[in-house]
Every structure is written in C-alpha cells, then in structure tokens.
C-alpha cells in the first residue's frame, strides 16, 4: 500500500515537472518586446500555451525563440479594423485584447489547467484582458502578472 502512494506522488511530481496541468499565456506589443523576451526565458522548456504579440505592421514581425509547445501569434494593426462595423483603424492594444480574450474563452473556460499569465503592452489591451480574465473567467488575480504602474492586481 505504501508503494502505491509513492508511485502516485511520484507520478504527480513528474507531471508537474513536465509542465502538464499548466498553461501559459503571454501577451505584448512592440513597446514591451524586451520584457516579453525576459518572460519567455523564465518558461520551462516543456511549457505549452500561447504568445500574442501586437505590432504596427508586417515589417515589425521577427523571430521569437520560445519553447516548442508555445504558439506565437503576431497581430498587425495595419491589417485589422477597429471596433467591428465602425470602419475605424485598429487602436493600440485592441487587436491583442480581442485575440487574447477569444483564446482565453476557448482554452481557459472551465479548464482544470493552472494558468500562468504575463500581460505586457499598452494599458488599453492589458486592462481589457485582465478584466476579462478575472471577471468573466474567474482567473485568480495572483495568477496574472501585469506592469506594476497599471495597478491592476491591487
């Protein structure tokens, strides 16, 4: 009986060490690319999840080194419109907040995975995503890292 407990604890520990049961979400714009790079460097090699990066145009897209199971999505404001039906241009933070909220609705709703979330970029995008995660998806605020000056986790 004691041997079974050891296996169970060991299997659970191995699962946690591999990053299974954890999902990572990172978001940035061109103003926070160095901080995003630093955040990516802290990810475990076996991390799985998504990285969203909003930039002005296609010329701003670059290679991002990330763990193999992390998907990197570049969002260019020049190729997107603002609010649907408005005919306006896409404002800074708007593309990433729409994309991240849609992904979160699909991947975090009723998920048993433990989310690890890093939000960087323009206040408009960061605050919209933070509010959606906390208010609509019940993600604990302590699971979300945001720029300190934004004071979103206070």
pLDDT of the residue at 1: 41
**Residue at 5 is within a domain:** no
Counted residue by residue, the chain has a size of 154
Express each pLDDT in 91-111 by its tens digit: 999 999 999 999 999 999 888
CATH of the domain at 60: 3.40.50.80
Which residue reads 């460097």 in tokens?
41
**Residue at 1 is within a domain:** no
**Residue at 16 is within a domain:** no
Residue 24 has pLDDT above 60, yes or no: yes
**Residue at 141 is within a domain:** yes
Where is 35: in which H helix or E strand?
helix 33-41
**Residue at 9 is within a domain:** no
Q: Could you give the percent of the chain with pLDDT greater than 90?
A: 70
What b-and-e string marks burial along 43-58, b requiring 16 or more CB atoms within 10 Å of the CB? beeebbbbbbbbbeee
Stretch 53-73: mean pLDDT, rounded? 95
Domain encompassing residue 46:
22-150
pLDDT of the residue at 2: 40
Whole-angstrom CA distances from 30 to 56, 115, 140 are 8, 24, 27
Stretch 120-134: mean pLDDT, rounded? 95
Residue 11 has pLDDT above 70, yes or no: no
Work out the end-to-end distance of the chain between its first and last CA atoms, rounded to an integer number of angstroms. Answer: 46
Residue 63 has pLDDT above 60, yes or no: yes
């Amino acid at each position: 009986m004691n041997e079974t407990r050891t296996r169970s604890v060991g299997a659970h520990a191995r699962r946690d060490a591999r990053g299974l049961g954890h999902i990572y979400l990172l978001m940035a714009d061109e103003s926070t690319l160095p901080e995003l790079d630093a955040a990516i460097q802290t990810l475990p090699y076996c991390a799985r999840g998504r990285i969203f990066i909003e930039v002005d145009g296609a010329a701003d897209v670059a290679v991002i080194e990330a763990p193999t199971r992390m998907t990197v999505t570049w969002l260019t404001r020049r190729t997107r419109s603002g609010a649907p039906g408005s005919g306006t241009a896409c404002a800074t933070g708007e593309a990433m907040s729409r994309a991240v909220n849609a992904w979160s609705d699909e991947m975090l709703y009723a998920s048993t995975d433990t989310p690890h979330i890093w939000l960087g970029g323009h206040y408009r995008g960061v605050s919209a995503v933070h509010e959606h995660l906390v208010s609509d998806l019940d993600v604990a605020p302590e699971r979300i890292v945001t720029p300190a000056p934004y004071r979103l986790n206070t």
